[in-house]
Structure formats: structure tokens, C-alpha cells
């Protein structure tokens, strides 16, 4: 959820990650940040956990092209090493698996 909040605090950091030619990059940053916050909060509530998890998985898949774009244009991103940008690509699958595991977990860990 902190990364989602950061989309609103430092949107320019995320705008630079949007592939060239995509419409309204700033709005895309705000929309993705909103859904990161919403999904993270949803994972904390048992009755919403599964739908929130599937939403976060959809979001992770939706932002994957931006991660590929960053890896292909590593010279544009001083804050990240080319190695980190490439390593980030398979890490996305790990994040998806982790979200799936949490979303489908039958254990109770409510914050309600």
C-alpha cells in the first residue's frame, strides 16, 4: 500500500516509467496507485481477500509492459541499474505468486 501512496506523493517518479505514446501517463500513475492501495487494503479483509488478490494480479500483469519498457531503456533511469531492471522482470512472477498465495489462503489473519 505504501507504493500505492507514493504514486500520489511522487507521481513524476512513476510517470517516467510509462512507455512512450501511452495516453495520459499521469492519470495512469494515479489510477494504478489507487488500485494498489485498494488491493492492499482488500487483502487485509478476509471477505475481500480473494477479489482483491485477483485485482492485484491483474494490476501486476497490466504494469508489466512498463517494467519491460524500463529494462529496454535502462539508460533513461538513473535511479536503477540495468541489472536491477532486468531482475525485476522475473520478480513480477514471484509477486503474482505471493499475491495468489495470500488471496487464496484459508488462514484467518483479519485486521477487522
Which candidate, 56, 48, 53, 54, places its Cα nearest to that of 111? 48
Residue range(s) defining the domain that contains residue 12: 2-104
- For residue 96, is it within any domain? yes
Q: Kindly report the pTM of this predicted structure.
A: 0.83
Q: What sign results for the dihedral spanned by CA atoms 97, 98, 100, 104?
A: positive
pLDDT attached to residue 77? 84
Per-residue pLDDT band at 107 (split at 50, 70, 90): low
- For residue 110, is it within any domain? no
The radius of gyration of the chain from alpha carbons, rounded to an integer in Å, stands at 15
- For residue 12, is it within any domain? yes
- For residue 68, is it within any domain? yes
The structural domain count of the chain equals 1
Q: What sign results for the dihedral spanned by CA atoms 49, 52, 57, 58?
A: positive
Q: How far is CA 6 from CA 1, 9, 86, 89, in A?
A: 9, 5, 22, 21
111, pLDDT greater than 70: no
Per-residue pLDDT band at 99 (split at 50, 70, 90): very high
Question: 99 near 59, Cβ under 8 Å?
Answer: no
Judged by phi (left if over 0) then psi (alpha if -120 to 50, else beta), residue 78 lies in alpha
Amino acid at each position: 500500500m505504501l507504493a500505492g501512496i507514493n504514486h500520489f506523493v511522487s507521481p513524476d517518479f512513476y510517470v517516467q516509467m510509462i512507455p512512450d505514446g501511452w495516453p495520459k501517463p499521469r492519470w495512469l500513475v494515479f489510477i494504478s496507485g489507487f488500485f494498489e492501495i485498494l488491493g492492499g487494503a482488500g487483502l487485509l479483509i478476509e471477505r475481500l481477500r480473494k477479489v482483491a488478490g485477483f485485482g492485484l494480479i491483474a494490476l501486476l500483469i497490466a504494469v508489466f509492459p512498463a517494467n519491460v519498457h524500463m529494462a529496454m531503456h535502462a539508460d533513461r533511469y538513473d535511479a536503477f541499474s540495468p541489472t536491477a531492471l532486468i531482475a525485476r522482470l522475473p520478480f513480477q512472477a514471484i509477486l503474482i505468486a505471493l499475491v495468489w498465495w495470500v488471496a487464496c489462503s484459508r488462514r484467518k489473519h483479519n485486521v477487522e
